[in-house]
Chains A and B, each alone.
Chain A
Amino acid sequence: MKLRDDTNYIVSGLERSGTSMMMQVLAAGGIPIAYTETRKPDEHNPKGYYELEGGKIINTLMQGTFPFETYKGRFIKITAYGLTYLPAGTYKIIYMERNLEEVLDSMEKMAQVTDEGREDTKQSFKKLNEKVKKELRTKDNVDILFMNYNDVLKDPRTNVQKIGEFIGPYHFDTTKMIAVVDSQLYRQRR
């Protein structure tokens, strides 16, 4: 299957909000994605991170050197802060959202820290999320599909259908996509 070669496709959202799971879902459906395996699967992402540049794509975005042209027609993962450095272009973006307390729980677990300033951290990530969403909505040539991680787990079938409608009239293996939504990954449920 081939996506439009004049468009950059992105999976985004705050870190730990289900972006890796979404990349897995897309890959299972036969939808083109691009990633490197620099960061190996671990206990935090047992099925892999599906990232470019070992997860440090934000560095090259900040430097303005990320080769967007190379990745047209394939989904790549750029987390929310990276999108604040998004150059003008044509994009289709699946933006993942998740209960912020769960996001913070997962971040603390992954960083192996207890955040003493958790409320401040929460407000900062909340504001980042709002800023990015607002900026995307006002940009030309940017189509966004907002997806909620918790909803995807709850009702994978409906959400996979939404992905299909968003990406376009291509053939997907929806059965495999639905199968990827592994409820066991929902370890941070409160």
Chain B
Amino acid sequence: MEEKKDEKKYTTISIPTQLAEKIKKRIQGTGFTSLSSYVTYVLREVISGADTETSEEFSKEDEDRVKARLRSLGYLD
């Protein structure tokens, strides 16, 4: 049986009501349309930042090296 086409994958996370109220006030007049969208944005930023701290950046030099190797293997013109 297939899943419903429009089914989204979300889960519920509990935060203190007081904090939720503060966030609601904070996002008034911003582009965030809901408490969930703001919290999702903040968490993504935190996770992305944590990953950046633990891994070295893929530099232009790295990219040129990868592309050169891919050309030699026939994966890229």
Q: Which residues of A contact B (CB under 8 A)?
A: 4, 6, 15-16, 39, 54-56, 58-59, 79, 81, 107, 110-111, 113, 117, 120-121, 123-125, 127-128, 130-131, 134, 137-138, 168-169
Contacts and interface: CB of A to CB of B under 8 A. Distances in A.
B76 A58 contact: yes
A55 B57 CA distance: 27
A39 B55 contact: no
Contacts of A130: 55, 58
A108 B9 CA distance: 42
Interface in B43-68: 44, 47-48, 51, 55-59, 61-63, 65-67
B58 A131 contact: yes
Given A4-B5, A127-B55, A134-B51, A81 B72 contact: no
Given A6-B5, A54-B74, A130-B58, 13 more contacts: A4-B5, A15-B70, A56-B77, A81-B67, A117-B65, A120-B65, A123-B62, A124-B63, A127-B59, A128-B66, A130-B55, A138-B44, A138-B48
A15 B72 contact: no
Contacts of A113: 72
Contacts of B61: 124
Contacts, number: 73
Interface string B1-24: 111010000000000000000000
A137 B75 CA distance: 25
Nearest to B67: A81
8 contacts: A55-B75, A56-B75, A59-B77, A81-B75, A127-B55, A128-B62, A128-B63, A169-B2
B26 interface: no
A140 to B, nearest CB: 9
Contacts of A124: 58, 61-63, 65-66
